[in-house]
Amino acid sequence: MWPRRLAGQLIAGLLIVMVSAHVISFFAFIDERRLAVHQANQFQSLSRIASVVRLMENAPIEMRDAIARKAGGPLLRFTLSRESMVDDEQDGFRAARIRRRLARRLGSGERSIEVGAMEEGDGFWRWGPWRHSRDAQDHMRGEDDDDGDRHSSHGPGHERGHDSEHGASGPVPGGGMIIAVRLVDGNWLNTRTQLPPVAPGWAVASLTAMAATALALIVMIVVLVRRVTRPLAGLAAAAESAGRGEVFTPLPEEGPSDVRDTISAFNRMQDRQQRFTADRIRMLAAISHDIRTPITSLRIRAEFIDDAALQAKILATLDEMQAMAEATLAFVREDTSDEAFVETDLEALAESVCADAVDLGKEAHFTPLEGGRLIANCQPFALRRALRNIVENALAYAGSATVHIERREAGVAIVVEDDGPGIAEADLPRVFEPFFRLEDSRNRQTGGMGLGMAIAQTILRAHGGDVCIANRPQGGLRVTLQLPAE
């Protein structure tokens, strides 16, 4: 699933980091919002409790029960009793802070305030905060829907245990609490509070803003990464083309400064390499041309030698020197061939090489490829020459050659096999050295100049491939011309 190209990896990595940061920020923002609303709800609840306490203390006794009943609501419930309904008074930081805040709002000297039945750790990070809020609200609404006799039973004359039957002193779901305030007449005003978490509906605007920001960042990331990687892709393609020996055209220097510097260095390198190769070709061409003069001079002088046998040896040596000079020049020119790469039918090319050998009376066989013809981008004349050199070697040393084409995972291979004596394992790596001959005689008609395999290897490597040679287990030699996949 992970992209393999540089552009894909950069975009994927940046998107993962960005999405992770947005998700963390979103949930943190929701929690901060929820806590802020809780603080506001708490402030409002404490202010309302203080107002009800002052109203109770200034109202006639017979009206206090009605005030307690009417002052409550779905999230705030008041009852009167002779004792506090807080079973387990809290001494933590939150409870102490609530006592201080409520005492400041009452502002009438020392007060007995008890806080209990709180659920510590309530927050967005807990599972199901909205479920707790819904259950608690349903619980309190259910009590409000009861008949009014229950509310009237909570008058000052009733005991605490009677109110406990209805769960007033039990923990309130969803982070609620029970606050008991002692009135001046000795009775207790018990308040059950419910502080609901914030519903998620408010976050639509934040989600929209975050989505817009993420979309803008994605567009910017894609544009910047493309700007960086597009020149690199062109550089890779140009390097591959230069490795195949194609005519090099300087790349446009674009992208960031470090990428432009890399492309500029590549252009300079290719320019120096082409100039070096051209200078070498001119030098060897000059040597090949100039050496003809002394060879011709020696040939003329050899004509005046009376000893016929010695004369023949000298002329044969001069012929070999001239052939070596011309073969060297041909080898260098093949190494720097500027033939264009075109789409070529490899089966037709290999079949024509075998047909040419058959026309000369040789035994060459071509086996067609199953599954259709195979097209490759190559230099057809150069590749034909490389294959012809391999086939001619097989015909010269084994008397016959068999050619077929194979599709491989790494590309395509043209395989030449023969039934000859093979080559000693120690000599296999040396057959690609220029002027290396397996035959010890100096007869060029039987041993050649020793450049056929070297030229074939040069041509295949210019295509991005190579030539492999190995002895067959059943005898003979197998030479593979490997071409890369497009």
- Cβ atoms of 341 and 379 closer than 8 Å: yes
224 in the same domain as 180: no
Question: Domain residues for 165?
Answer: 6-198
256 in the same domain as 183: no
404 in the same domain as 452: yes
Boundary (domain end) residue, out of 198, 220, 235: 198
116 in the same domain as 64: yes
User: CA 166, 170, 175, 181: dihedral to nearest 10 degrees?
Assistant: 90
Q: What is the pLDDT of residue 405?
A: 92
The reply to whether 81 falls in a domain is yes
Boundary (domain end) residue, out of 290, 312, 331: 290
What are the two backbone dihedrals, phi and then psi, of residue 166, each rounded to the nearest 5 degrees?
A: -95, 10
Q: Where are the beta strands (DSSP E) in 249-386?
A: 342-345, 363-367, 375-378
Q: What is the pLDDT of residue 162?
A: 36
DSSP letter, residue 303: T
Q: Is the pTM of this model over 0.75?
A: no
- Angstrom CA distances, 306 to 43, 136, 300, 301, 441, stand at 131, 129, 13, 11, 27
The reply to whether 178 falls in a domain is yes
Boundary (domain end) residue, out of 149, 179, 198: 198
**CA dist., res. 9 & res. 173, Å (int):** 48
**CA dist., res. 122 & res. 132, Å (int):** 10
409 in the same domain as 368: yes
Q: pLDDT in tens for each of the 486 residues of the chain?
A: 777 777 777 778 888 888 888 778 777 777 676 677 667 777 778 888 888 888 888 888 888 888 888 887 777 888 888 888 887 676 777 778 888 888 888 876 677 888 886 544 443 333 344 444 444 445 444 444 443 333 333 443 333 333 433 333 344 444 567 888 888 888 888 888 775 544 554 566 667 777 788 788 888 888 888 887 888 888 888 887 776 666 678 888 887 788 888 889 988 988 888 787 777 777 777 777 678 778 888 888 888 888 888 888 888 888 878 777 777 666 666 555 567 888 899 999 999 999 999 998 999 999 988 777 788 888 888 899 899 999 998 998 888 999 999 988 878 999 999 998 888 888 888 888 877 776 654 444 545 567 788 888 888 888 888 899 999 988 889 999 999 876
The reply to whether 447 falls in a domain is yes
What are the two backbone dihedrals, phi and then psi, of residue 80, each rounded to the nearest 5 degrees?
A: -110, 140
Q: What is the pLDDT of residue 480?
A: 93
25 in the same domain as 159: yes
Query: How long is the chain?
Result: 486
DSSP 67-121: HHHHH-BTTEEEEEESS---SSB--SHHHHHHHHHHHHHH-SS---EEEE---TT
172 in the same domain as 65: yes
Query: Structurally, how many domains does the chain consist of?
Result: 3
**CA dist., res. 271 & res. 277, Å (int):** 10
Strand partners, 411: 408, 484
Strand partners, 343: 377
| All residues at 6 or more sequence positions from 322 whose CB lies less than 8 Å from its CB, including other chains | 291, 292, 295
The reply to whether 322 falls in a domain is no
Rg (CA), the chain: 49
157 in the same domain as 11: yes
- Cβ atoms of 403 and 416 closer than 8 Å: yes
255 in the same domain as 216: yes
| All residues at 6 or more sequence positions from 265 whose CB lies less than 8 Å from its CB, including other chains | none
**CA dist., res. 183 & res. 78, Å (int):** 13
26 in the same domain as 132: yes
The reply to whether 64 falls in a domain is yes
- Vertex 345: Cα angle to 370 and 343 (nearest 5): 135
The reply to whether 75 falls in a domain is yes
- Cβ atoms of 431 and 421 closer than 8 Å: no
Region of 418 (left: φ > 0; alpha: ψ -120 to 50; beta: rest) is: beta
Burial annotation 245-270 (CB, 10 A radius, 16+ → b, else e): bbebeebeeebeeebeebbeebbeeb
The reply to whether 327 falls in a domain is no
439 in the same domain as 390: yes
The reply to whether 315 falls in a domain is no
219 in the same domain as 193: no
What are the two backbone dihedrals, phi and then psi, of residue 233, each rounded to the nearest 5 degrees?
A: -65, -40
Burial annotation 309-347 (CB, 10 A radius, 16+ → b, else e): eeeeebeeebeeebebbebbbebbebbeeebebeebebb
CATH number of the domain at 356, please. Answer: 3.30.565.10
